[in-house]
Amino acid sequence: MSDTATTPTNATFDQFGLHADILKAIAEQGYTTPTPIQAEAIPVVLGGRDVMGAAQTGTGKTAGFSLPIIQRLLPLASTSASPARHPVRALILTPTRELADQVAANVQAYAKHTSLRSAVVFGGVDMNPQSAELRRGVEILIATPGRLLDHVQQKTANLGQVQILVLDEADRMLDMGFLPDLQRILNLLPAERQTLLFSATFSPEIKKLAATYLRNPQTIEVARSNSTATNVTQIVYEVAEGDKTGAVVKLIRDRGLKQVIVFCNSKIGASRLARQLERDGVVATAIHGDRTQSERMQALDAFKRGEIEALVATDVAARGLDIAELPAVINFDLPFNAEDYVHRIGRTGRAGASGDALSLFSPNERKQLADIEKLIKRPLDVQRLTVDTPVRHHHDERGARRERDDRGSRRRTTGAHERPAHGTHHRQQPVDDFFLKPYEPSPSAVSAAAKRDETPAAPQKPASKQPLAALLGGFGMPRKTTPSN
């Protein structure tokens, strides 16, 4: 049976009994007062109890579990260079590479003044540097499930001494797509361990499934489950499906957005939208699963530096992206999974800042809109958005036709019977008159045909015509005969 924690009032980091080295790192990060999820989770985790924590995205869940983990492992910290003195004692699993990298950066910042070592492993990059770091020994390992199993198979990661397991964004970690890998990892961990589940959304099915991994957990909910932050203004604009690209450009320009994440449902759609925004003068790039990890990290770094106005992303970026003071996100497509809407709009309005969540809604997305409103238990403000037909559309059509004409002209041999593209008569190459004359057989072909005529016909050939005519009902038709001389 799980208990529900109560929110302490006027909490400070000093009252948790954290080590001075941890408090120093917290102060260097500019944090003075814990968020509600931190104030509730830190003492419970320090007590060694399993936790199921639900809080809105951007409220500091990472610090809520990483700070007490560092505190609990400090007595076991060692300055020895021997890898045996630095076994993996805490394992933090995340569903995406971006989230793993973000959590690792936070853990490293909080533990910078201690002797604890941390490392992050995820797919899409070379395993050799990761293997070398693991062989040197780390106490806190942040990983995605697939790459972690790769290291286990290569015997560069040993999970036999893990004392604390964290499932970050646990709803996605417990999704059916991750369950086989997750089960294999759980089988490698000691049975006696502390398990922590943190996420912004917990469906009843996920709660039931998670209960099998936790022992007498304490449930911490600092806000109504699956709710959205009150400091995020949510607006839904109804537009035609074909006007969505123009609507994105209009919203960016009218609102003066210099930094915005635009979410699409497909990788192809994200790449296409990024190219269209570039043609409309918006500095944009796409980030999705088909891009290499180095390309994704370069795009994120450029976006964080303000060099990119619009980061067009699939839901791979809906979790783990922590952009300071991101003013807005735009849902180009409403997500098929309503929970993803909560995570998408959680990229803005983080750490108490305000933000705008703008969604484009076409008539064929009524079901997605209804599912979102049902999940967040409130109706969304739907407004009409008139989009003028961008000039780019006309230019693109002419450019596309010219491109198709150019490709076609390169693939075929130009002839007089072909109609040249409008305005290109003066560029036509002269055509040899030989190719304009009707076909005339050469003398050799004529003599060869004459020889074939002199050859006696096969005896079965005339006989084969009569049955065919019978089948076609041709006996009643007069047959043409060749007059004899």
Residue 91 and residue 166 in contact, taking contact as beta carbons nearer than 8 Å: yes
**Statement: residue 255 has pLDDT above 80:** yes
Three-class DSSP category at 81: coil
Q: State residue 6's pLDDT score.
A: 44
Question: What does the pLDDT average to over 440-456?
Answer: 53
**Statement: residue 485 has pLDDT above 90:** no
Q: Per-residue pLDDT tens for 105-152?
A: 999 999 999 999 999 999 888 999 999 999 999 999 999 999 999 999
Domain 3-221 identical in fold to domain 232-391? yes
**Statement: residue 296 has pLDDT above 50:** yes
Nearest of 85, 94, 144 to residue 117 by alpha carbon:
85
**Statement: residue 449 has pLDDT above 60:** no
Residue 306 and residue 293 in contact, taking contact as beta carbons nearer than 8 Å: no
Confidence of residue 340 (pLDDT cuts 50, 70, 90): confident
Domain ranges of the chain: 3-221, 232-391
**Ranges 44-58, 202-216, 263-277, 441-455: which has the least confidence:** 441-455
Q: State residue 229's pLDDT score.
A: 65
Task: Tell me how far apart the alpha carbons of residues 466 and 210 are, in angstroms, rounded to a whole number.
Answer: 81
Q: State residue 45's pLDDT score.
A: 96
What CATH architecture is 232-391? Answer: 3-Layer(aba) Sandwich (3.40)
Question: Higher confidence at residue 392 or residue 365?
Answer: 365
Cα angle 104, 147, 178; round to 5 = 95
Q: What is the 8-class DSSP label of residue 425?
A: G
Nearest of 206, 149, 201 to residue 175 by alpha carbon:
206
Q: State residue 226's pLDDT score.
A: 55
**Ranges 42-56, 206-220, 358-372: which has the least confidence:** 206-220
- CA-CA-CA-CA torsion for 126, 132, 135, 141, nearest 10 degrees? -50
Residue 114 and residue 22 in contact, taking contact as beta carbons nearer than 8 Å: yes
**Statement: residue 399 has pLDDT above 60:** no
* CATH number at 3-221: 3.40.50.300
Continuous H helices in 280-438? 293-304, 338-345, 366-376, 391-411
Question: Residue 193: left (phi > 0), alpha (psi -120 to 50), or beta?
Answer: beta
- Tell me, yes or no, if the pTM score tops 0.85: no
Q: State residue 282's pLDDT score.
A: 93
- Six-digit token string for 15: 């009252």
Question: Higher confidence at residue 304 or residue 56?
Answer: 304
